[in-house]
Structure 1
Amino acid sequence: MSATAPDEAPEFHWDWFSQHIPAWRSLFSTIQPLPRKILEIGSFEGRATCFMLEHVLAPDAPGEVHCVDTWAGGVEHSALPMEEVHARFRRNVTLLVGRLPQHRVVIHRRTSFDAMVRLIAEGHAGTFDFVYVDGSHQAPDVLEDLVLSFRLCRKGGVVICDDYFWQRQKPGEEDVLDSPKLAIDSFTNLFRRRLRFLSRMSGQQLAYRKTAD
């Protein structure tokens, strides 16, 4: 990725991440060593990606963030200009990597299922220090993301799941299959002997450490 002027700033039009920053800072202040290899499922404009590049990756060693997104958006993004979102993501991460040349961003523009199956086939299973699951909000998709990302996370690594209580429908019209909660609950119950909860972060997020393969 090409270098950029030092006075340029990332550009974001939406913000669903900044509210979580205090909880992230608190969590990662307790984690040593800091991650060197991160998997992000759902990157959108790159706000969380940029934060991870600057504040989560170990600053004194080469690091990488693998970003998985189709940039087609989910049903809740049907009115958004997703190609513009994708272009903004690329500009933002190019800017940050220009400032932090020890780090790199690997972009996987495909479904999370396809991307993670490929990563497993290419030998990345058990190599990621941190995984951020913030992709599809459909329960079946979320369950796939959690199971496959568990395979990719190393023993001792950390996973954060976003949007635990997210709902697209009005109160009283909720569809449990149209929300991450059922998938997160199902996964954490099935895998409870292989993980340890770290924190319910900012209400909407849940963090765990992988304790066994």
Structure 2
Amino acid sequence: MHRILVASLHRATHVINLLMNYLRSVREKQFERKLKRTVGFSFTSDWASHNYVNWEKWFTGYGHQPNLRVLEIGSFEGRSTVWFLENVLTHPSAQLVCVDPMPWPVNPPRPRFMHNIQLTGKAQQVTLIQERSEIALTKLPPASFDIIYIDGAHDAINVLADGMYSWELLKVGGLMLFDDYLWEPDKPEYHRCQRAIDLLLKQFGTRKTLLHLDYQALLRKDAD
């Protein structure tokens, strides 16, 4: 009986996954048709523009740098992606890797993401990896990024994993930026970024320099 129940659950899970993938595909095609009639960028939210003043101070000095490599964990509709493309990855050899599973079956962000980066004229400089970060980051070469921006899943365990994996991917002298350090202060610690970022800062110790700590946390990797 137990084996029959397990087999039935596996079949049901498989059917549900197929249905979710089908629904996501249908919704994405509907959005793609709609976006073809859209003039200009298309966003449904803005969680980035309030950071632009700081980003200009921290990152625009990297502009026109050949072979610059930036990793963005959590891209959603591409608002921060567009900013980096237009202000930092200005050399044609610069590359931006975006990691985001984009799993939503309702209002999936991928069509808007693709639409928005196409409008920058730099889509060829972007690689989108649609996998969970704990899977995708293990496939990337170590010490291969100059800037890493972490704005993925916000539970402490996810932020901790993203930070640990990203440390190995960051070049010495590179910058790592965490978003939402002060996000949702009334939530339990395990549901917030802050606890994980504090643990990471302690773990990295003297191998890093903390450059900024407010709603975002910026550090430089000084040694492996």
Whether the TM-score (by the shorter chain) exceeds 0.5 is yes
Cα drift, residue 72 of structure 1: 2.2
Q: Distance in 1 between matches of 2:63 and 2:86?
A: 16
Kept in 2, the 8 Å contact 1:72–1:82? The answer is no
Cα drift, residue 194 of structure 1: 1.1
The normalised TM-score by structure 2 is 0.77
Q: Of residues 92, 100, 123 in structure 2, which corresponds to 1:69?
A: 100
Q: Of residues 38, 57, 81 in structure 2, which corresponds to 1:26?
A: 57
Q: Of residues 182, 190, 199 in structure 2, which corresponds to 1:186?
A: 199
Cross-structure match for 2:48: 17
| Larger relative contact order, structure 1 or 2 (CA cutoff 8 Å, min sep 6) | 1
Identity value in percent: 32
Cα drift, residue 10 of structure 1: 1.6
Kept in 1, the 8 Å contact 2:60–2:87? The answer is no
5 Å-filtered alignment, 1:47-66, equals 47-57=79-89, 59-66=90-97
Cα drift, residue 208 of structure 1: 0.6
5 Å-filtered alignment, 1:66-145, equals 66-72=97-103, 81-83=106-108, 85-96=109-120, 99-100=121-122, 104-119=125-140, 124-145=141-162
Work out whether 1:208 is the aligned partner of 2:224. Answer: no
Q: Distance in 2 between matches of 1:81 and 1:181?
A: 29
Cα drift, residue 8 of structure 1: 4.5
Q: Distance in 2 between matches of 1:106 and 1:196?
A: 29
Cross-structure match for 2:26: none
Cα drift, residue 207 of structure 1: 0.4
Deviations 1:13-39 (CA, angstroms, capped at 9, x unpaired): 100000000010011245587571010
Higher helix content, 1 or 2: 2
Which of 188-197 and 11-20 deviates more? 188-197
Cα drift, residue 118 of structure 1: 1.1
Cross-structure match for 1:76: none
- Give the greater-gyration-radius structure (CA): 2
**Runs of at least 4 residues off by over 4 Å:** 29-35
